[in-house]
Structure 1
């Protein structure tokens, strides 16, 4: 469902940009043609800019250091350059470019769980890198796209079982954004603490997010700040469960803010300053943390991606 929806959106935007450019070029207005086409194709960059303005304004008394203007601009640019590849190509057109690899006896595997309005295509670069290192993995696609987060527990259970059968090991769960809440919903339902080696979350709204208060779908409302659903989830969790979690969060996360809502008490909480919500997945420290958790060598250089110098501060 999501792939078809994003295909339609992508093709509509491209078609509209082309139609605008063609029409005004025919009218002898090349500047209007070019400006309008660019605005249609790159309007998402303006939406992202608005998100960064909002996150900066609602920081409040959050204990995380407030992002500087330089960090915000760099994070915005990282999101602008990475998002189209994911939402306009990998997810809508090639979500299954890399098949699951659940079998590798004796090797610990990884369950990859994406976030809101995403599918398994989100993890394509990760899947290629894991496959190259011989690390078994299963990537889920959470459906229905706009349903309850509780319903995703079935998909997480199926993925964990595939890796348990294929490896004989408890897997590591790697979760972006809403995917971390899906993992927590699965843990609550199955009481499956002994069946998971580690849970690594990246920009997960563990305590909700400011943007969630404007949600219209069931799962976005569940992700509102201190929503009733999140309160019930937290009340049902034993405090020691959080010791299995590593939570990456950022002061430039344009979706999950204020920043500390992406952390958990008792977890290993790691701040990645200057990195935006989607782009955070490409921080080398995140991938190296996963490799360490599955017992593989960390081979990503600290400066392998934009922002490593910022993150090191």
Structure 2
């Protein structure tokens, strides 16, 4: 379903731009086709005020983040997610094949598993690594409903590797993993290493603009999100140039190992080499306990 929604948006955008160009001139059609990237500019500019003080991003960093975000969103929402959902299948080798590490990749709001295609292609080249990337559905349903498919994915990876996976989440995916941990994390169960990228752990002001059920659950400091338990082993990656998580520090909750990455936007976090390096360190079993700015 998520991929179908992405394809609908693709055709609405480009056919709408073609219709505008046909009737009003191709210059206007070009503007219509790129209205979303252009609309991102004010959302980045306002971050100077929302994240004011010690965490205020510089204008040059915001401009750089916007340019990277345009490329990242066009590749993800205009190509991979609508058309390449099954291009990179899950990798679950038999236990006899020697998989020693598992990775669970959890996408964010209004996305699907193809959000992680580049990561899955790279992980497939790493010997001994099993991975699963589920699509969380329904796209705009309750976040609590995602706990069961996440548990199924965890069980698949435990069966393949004999150990809890490293869980990497983008945006709402980190909130979904906290909902999973609330439901399945009792009875002394081993806590996984979780890495969240731009996750609104305390909610985000921007969620007030969406009527979707899961967006309402992510509203700033709402009762539902405040009731979620913390994750025992959490590495939280955040950026002051995040145009979706407002204020930015909600992505770095107290008690986590927080890592600040500058000059990159919300979607761009997943393609940033600094984030990949942090993940590789976690996968190798090294400590990420020292917060730092990158």
Deviation at residue 15 of structure 1 after TM alignment? 1.8
1:4-15 → structure 2 map (5 Å cutoff)? 4-15=4-15
SS of 1:233's partner is: coil
Aligned counterpart, 1:119: 112
Larger displacement relative to structure 2 (266-275 or 173-182): 266-275
1:86-105 → structure 2 map (5 Å cutoff)? 86-103=76-93, 105=98
Q: Are the counterparts in 1 of residues 185 and 191 from structure 2 also a CA contact under 8 Å?
A: no
Aligned counterpart, 2:181: 187
Deviation at residue 195 of structure 1 after TM alignment? 3.9
Does 1:285 find its partner at 2:239?
Answer: no
Aligned counterpart, 1:46: 38
Deviation at residue 105 of structure 1 after TM alignment? 3.3
Q: Deviations over 1:34-79 (max 9, x none)?
A: 3112111100012211221333222256xx5201110111101111
Q: Distance between the aligned counterparts of 1:36 and 1:249, measured in 2?
A: 36
Does 1:145 find its partner at 2:142?
Answer: no
1:152-301 → structure 2 map (5 Å cutoff)? 152-191=146-185, 194-234=189-229, 237=230, 241-242=231-232, 244-295=233-284
Q: Deviations over 1:5-38 (max 9, x none)?
A: 22122112222223333445xxxxxxxx231121
1:74 pairs with one of 64, 71, 84: 64
Does 1:85 find its partner at 2:75?
Answer: yes
Q: Are the counterparts in 1 of residues 48 and 58 from structure 2 also a CA contact under 8 Å?
A: no
Q: Distance between the aligned counterparts of 1:224 and 1:115, measured in 2?
A: 15
Structure whose alpha-carbon radius of gyration is higher:
1
SS of 2:101's partner is: coil
Deviation at residue 140 of structure 1 after TM alignment? 1.0
Q: Distance between the aligned counterparts of 2:199 and 2:102, measured in 1?
A: 21
SS of 2:196's partner is: strand
Aligned counterpart, 2:16: 16
Could you state the TM-score of these two structures normalised by the residue count of structure 1? 0.85
Say how many residue pairs are matched.
283
Larger displacement relative to structure 2 (200-209 or 258-267): 258-267
Q: Are the counterparts in 1 of residues 108 and 170 from structure 2 also a CA contact under 8 Å?
A: yes
Q: Distance between the aligned counterparts of 2:190 and 2:165, measured in 1?
A: 7
Q: Distance between the aligned counterparts of 1:160 and 1:56, measured in 2?
A: 39
2:122 pairs with one of 112, 120, 129: 129
Cα 1:296–1:93 shift into 2, 3 Å? farther
What is the root-mean-square deviation of aligned Cα atoms in Å?
1.9
SS of 2:244's partner is: coil
Could you state the TM-score of these two structures normalised by the residue count of structure 2? 0.90
SS of 1:109's partner is: strand
SS of 1:78's partner is: helix
Deviation at residue 198 of structure 1 after TM alignment? 0.4
